[in-house]
Chain A
């Protein structure tokens, strides 16, 4: 609901994403903060921020696929890997510039995802989730067993830094701006997709695929498109990852990474792009604080050894997924909306 005194008088106003002056100010402040961030924070925090930006793109893709269209996807990391490998191979073999290889990487992942989305012709629900697990194993197998000259096999791919007009994205700051630019574009695109005809079709299919089929939505096509878009986002993120780390290997894209992405979506809130961003931020921040506090924890419990940090992180993450599903299945975004609503209604209870 809108705050008091804000009324939409035209259709454009009614479907606008940013509805009040306060929201404009908040958005601009947020973007400016993101822009000056690398000049304020230390190199480690900038690296974490870059990481978050890349994760944000993957998780938004998963959000569209899972939160909007309701198709559980346990292979998002594999789709990301396809994007990373495609970009890497294109950049190395054909010397494509990054502004061409990143979208192409996205397209490669989209095709891969689309193939698995097509299985929606025959199956639905959790059976569909199983095909995405198969995608994960197949990806692993194909990369390791295709000829080594294609994707480097078990050695991985090593990339040259992205270059444009003689400027190369080597420093932490420059790569941050590259990721920021791409992520901003992708986030904006995601908002557009979910309130378009396709986005509404996704939500309808998620709520009830039989009913939406009766209303004239092509259910199978909608599901396949959801996979296509989700995988495209994953592919773009994979491409960014390839240029950021400049080394691509299969163990960067395992089933566990997919599960982390799902955790981000659940914590942030299903069915909200902003929720996906919040989920990425919260989970990543927790993850990084575990890593930072790690030495302290190890010093406290020397008997447990260095792996205890990783272990505790897993316990915490698993616990948090379960806790959110039990106590707040709609995620942090829902809490925030409740808060906002009560603030706008104040002093009335409803």
Chain B
């Protein structure tokens, strides 16, 4: 029984981590209707920036970490300036394809700038787990979970209640119409990418704290896809619930099915969930049902 509770809680916390990464995805989608396939690469890039600032340059955490977030924001801005500002008004297809190009480009950049070696990521959160009775909880995931919930509700408020957030939604709906309404398309998309890059870096900090880091960590970007899909790509707070569901299911499946089926079912299971969602309810739990007018 205590095992079950352990798996359950750990699964939930991992799910919240997925939710944080999925949030980076959702934010970019909300503001520009672009599926960012390079999400995992953004996470790894953010992780490497943190590693570079803290471990390589040897800055203390209190300076290195904020600097890393600033650098990530600048990187997001750079991506927007170089690629997406030129694509304003182009089809969504072109933009999504560019993110696929970015996926390869950033991976190459990471290899050129930081090398293929496995680096040990600085320990941001204390390593010793939180122990309540017989329940063992990794501290980084626990703190990360709290941060995720706060960020999730904050972003949800921002996108649904503030002018700036609603402006971004308008941009996603139609570039031309948004321009006619006096909304700066470029600024909205730039802000979305900055936000996406910063969220990815935050995800990297929580995900990698005290672990090893190399470019293969980007798999988490794909693992977060089912979470975003289950919530519906427009729902920001919904991502939290979806993350919990996917994480718990994955945790339990890994614990109880893996020994029977023989390994790796835990990593594939989210994708099976994803396929099921796609077939049963493509808009997810809280996604917007769009009505197409011909």
Contacts and interface: CB of A to CB of B under 8 A. Distances in A.
A144 to B, nearest CB: 7
Nearest to A303: B115
A304 B115 contact: yes
A12 interface: no
A137 B273 CA distance: 12
Contact of B278 (A122, A211, A320): A122
Interface residues of A, number: 45
Interface in B63-122: 83, 86-87, 90, 92-94, 96-98, 100-112, 115-116
Contacts of B272: 134, 138
B105 A314 contact: yes
A350 to B, nearest CB: 26
A313 interface: yes
Nearest to A260: B104
A152 B271 CA distance: 23
B104 A318 contact: yes
A310 to B, nearest CB: 7
A325 B87 CA distance: 9
A325 B101 CA distance: 9
Contacts of B92: 126
Contacts of A305: 115-116
Nearest to B273: A134
Nearest to A122: B279
Interface residues of B, number: 45
B292 interface: yes
B189 interface: no
Contacts of A256: 104
B101 A307 contact: no
Of all A-B residue pairs in the complex, the 10 with the closest CB atoms, nearest first, are: A318-B105, A314-B108, A321-B101, A311-B111, A315-B108, A318-B104, A322-B101, A141-B268, A307-B116, A123-B282
Interface of A: 72, 74, 119, 122-123, 126-127, 129-131, 133-134, 137-138, 141, 144-145, 210-211, 255-256, 259, 262-263, 266, 304-305, 307-308, 310-322, 325-326, 329
Given A317-B104, A326-B86, 6 more contacts: A74-B100, A129-B96, A210-B292, A211-B294, A322-B101, A325-B87
